[in-house]
Structure 1
Amino acid sequence: MRRTHRDRRRKSTKQANIKASKSSTARNTGRSNKRKPSSKQVSHVKHAARKNSKSKLQNKPGSKKLSRLHQFQVKFHPEPVVSVIIPVMNERETIGNVIQEASKAHEAVEIIVVSNGTTDGSDRIAEKMGVKVIRYERPLGHDVGRKEGAAVAKGKILLFLDGDIVIPATQLQTFVQAIEGGSDVALNGFSGSTSRPNVHPVVLAKHAVNAFLSRSDLKGSSMTAIPHAISRRALEVIGLDALAIPPLAHTIAIKRGLKVKVAQIVEVGRRNRVRTRQPDPLEKMIVADNLYAMRWLVEQAGKRGGFTDLNRRRELVR
């Protein structure tokens, strides 16, 4: 029997109504009209999701490196020759690499990480790598971690680093070798630029202190910059407390006759963390530290800091 145009139209309308009804039911109940996938299909989808999630995690910057570094273990030495002291504050992206390079600074090395109010897990990464971790829940302040690490160090040589600057082991070895060769303090020769029209205040302050100490040969080298190393004798002469104020430690070392020399130039300026806060409070603190060191020198050497007044006869005009 031939279908009329009216029959075909009636059938099409009926199918559309059924489809609309199903769609409305799905919207109101939150259930889909699609056929429920089998357990095998569900398992396959879950596996793909886990694989995709893992892939995304691995593609995050530094995640593969972090995973490998967690497996790296620092060898324990009961009688270390070198103690590497690393203050850390939220530097999980770099601390693993810093530790790995530091572990190769000498055959007998101990690594001490001072967790300075860390909240990002940097301390846990260090601990998993087998190093000694000293924890402080609240930030100690800049450079105080050096003092705390030195207080528990066992080595004859103390090597100071920062947790956010990775320095190759071959360069670190130069500082250790300088102390083994008879120096008491081995400095980084990085001085900062003095050729610019506006020289950075910290650079000026470090040059001024060395000039005041009659050690212009050191230019802007200072115990402020890492890496630097000191002997056990230097630690005893300088004192623990002064390590928390690096320019003061530097000044005491030179004033008391310790052998201070530049071991190598390590360009740390560009590797340093970019500080967006202006004015930079750290800049003012370091300048103030250098002024504090100058004041100490004047107090020790007299009001002219040990410099002559030549032939001035001031008493004649009073």
Structure 2
Amino acid sequence: MPRKKPGKPMRQQRSAVTAHARSRYKHSLRLRKSGKTEMQGKAKLGELEHRASEAGYLAAFRHAECSLSYEHLQSSYWEWFREALDTKLSWRSILSISMAYRHGYNMIAKQPMLGIPLPIRGTVTAVVSASNEEKTVAAVISELCRLPIREIIVILNGCKDSSFQSIERNERVTVISYPKRLGHDVSRGIGASLATGDVVLFTDGDIVLAAEDLVSFLLEIDKGTDVALNDISPYLPPFSKQDAVTRSKMFLNHMLGRPDLKANSLTAVPHAISRRAISVLGAQSFIVPPKAQALAIVQGLAIRAPQSVDVVRKNRIRSGNVGAGNEVAQLIIGDHIEALEAVMGLQGSRLKMTRLPRSELARRRNRR
């Protein structure tokens, strides 16, 4: 008997099976290609790390008769990196290569270097704000000294403990002590006005962050970004459980056309800014961090959040920053209101929210 042609449902079913198989095949090809690309990327990075280790060894060997130092490690690394590598590498790749170079250098050095060399073209200033941090501020400065930072400005405000005495002095550290408590934000504004570096990194004296966690912020500003924020998004609860401070940060960024920044803000450390940002915004603006961020967005400055550093769980618990509607929360929310007022004065009360006529609103409602 002649074979019957399959009916329409059967043809559709076969077509669907064929389409599914074709889709699975293309997907497997993409996976193989991406896996191959990933392996090639790792192999390339491994090769660069090997070259860096050899270069570090040779740099130390040639300079062994002189005293090996972190300054020489940094200068020799930057010279080698500039001639041998592509500066468009990610910060993670650069950090891996830097560590490999230091490993090779330390094979010759009698006393191993703990500092991290980085390919930074400009100069760097770090600003540390502290109030009664005798247990941690010295460790904070010690980690900063592991980076190519030219000056470290420590602003002590209202300290009644031994914070001042706990700081070990060296040619890079400048300590400024105020008898009355100014608050972290005012301290950062003072630090920004005193800083001379092309890159200015901000951190607090109560949170000890490893030097490795600060690298991305320095590299981000050095390559042209104006404001590098800490991406705290992974450490925040779902929206339904977020507090008023977090929602204020998200609301401000959304209203200014930067929802991609989420709740990331200059209120959280670590963050870094460029010399251009200080020139455009003025050092005084950083006394109110949300206002400085809002004006930076309005002025078209480049703002990114290159890395996530967990400072949420490490934040020191104080009497003024716990509980709903606490003193610190009220201050930060007030700062966001001030930020909105400032940009509304420049862009109008609706900011990025375009007003639609009633006819258009009705038409959109009817579409639903």
Within 1, Cα distance between the matches of 2:239 and 2:182?
A: 34
Match of 1:113 in 2: 154
Match of 2:132 in 1: 90
Aligned length: 235
Deviates more, 1:217-226 or 1:295-304: 295-304
Match of 1:292 in 2: 338
CA deviation profile, 1:248-277 (whole Å, cap 9, x unmatched): 111111110000001201110000011345
Q: 1:233 to 1:80 in 2, by over 3 A?
A: closer
Within 2, Cα distance between the matches of 1:135 and 1:165?
A: 19
**2:138–2:168 Cα contact (<8 Å) kept:** no
Q: List aligned pairs for 1:155-194, cutoff 5 A.
A: 155-191=197-233, 192-194=235-237
**2:253–2:262 Cα contact (<8 Å) kept:** yes
Match of 2:241 in 1: 198
**2:230–2:309 Cα contact (<8 Å) kept:** yes
Match of 2:354 in 1: 308
CA RMSD of aligned residues (A): 2.0
- For normalisation by structure 1, the TM-score amounts to 0.70
Within 2, Cα distance between the matches of 1:190 and 1:97?
A: 23
1:231 to 254, 267, 274: 274
Within 1, Cα distance between the matches of 2:122 and 2:239?
A: 44
Deviation at 1:301, TM superposition (A): 0.3
Deviation at 1:139, TM superposition (A): 1.0
Within 2, Cα distance between the matches of 1:217 and 1:183?
A: 16
Within 2, Cα distance between the matches of 1:99 and 1:157?
A: 17
What code does the residue aligned with 2:143 have? E
Within 1, Cα distance between the matches of 2:177 and 2:319?
A: 27
**1:143–1:245 Cα contact (<8 Å) kept:** yes
Within 1, Cα distance between the matches of 2:149 and 2:185?
A: 25
SS for the counterpart of 1:211 is helix
Within 2, Cα distance between the matches of 1:80 and 1:112?
A: 17
Deviation at 1:311, TM superposition (A): 2.6
Q: 1:183 to 1:80 in 2, by over 3 A?
A: closer
**1:213–1:251 Cα contact (<8 Å) kept:** yes
CA deviation profile, 1:138-160 (whole Å, cap 9, x unmatched): 11134100011111111111000
Within 2, Cα distance between the matches of 1:275 and 1:138?
A: 18
What code does the residue aligned with 1:298 have? M
What code does the residue aligned with 1:104 have? R
**Rg bigger for which structure?**
1
- What's the % identity of the aligned pairs? 39
Within 2, Cα distance between the matches of 1:147 and 1:196?
A: 31
Match of 1:250 in 2: 293
Match of 2:186 in 1: 144
Match of 1:209 in 2: 252
- For normalisation by structure 2, the TM-score amounts to 0.61
Within 2, Cα distance between the matches of 1:249 and 1:126?
A: 30
Match of 1:36 in 2: none
Structure 1: any 5+ residue segments left out of the alignment? 1-71, 73-78, 314-318
CA deviation profile, 1:197-231 (whole Å, cap 9, x unmatched): 43111111111111011111111101110000000
Q: List aligned pairs for 1:59-70, cutoff 5 A.
A: none
Structure 2: any 5+ residue segments left out of the alignment? 1-113, 115-120, 360-368
SS for the counterpart of 1:158 is strand
Within 2, Cα distance between the matches of 1:299 and 1:96?
A: 43
Within 1, Cα distance between the matches of 2:318 and 2:157?
A: 18
Q: 1:108 to 1:90 in 2, by over 3 A?
A: closer
Match of 2:24 in 1: none
More helix per residue: 1 or 2? 2
CA deviation profile, 1:271-309 (whole Å, cap 9, x unmatched): 001134545200111111111111111111012124311
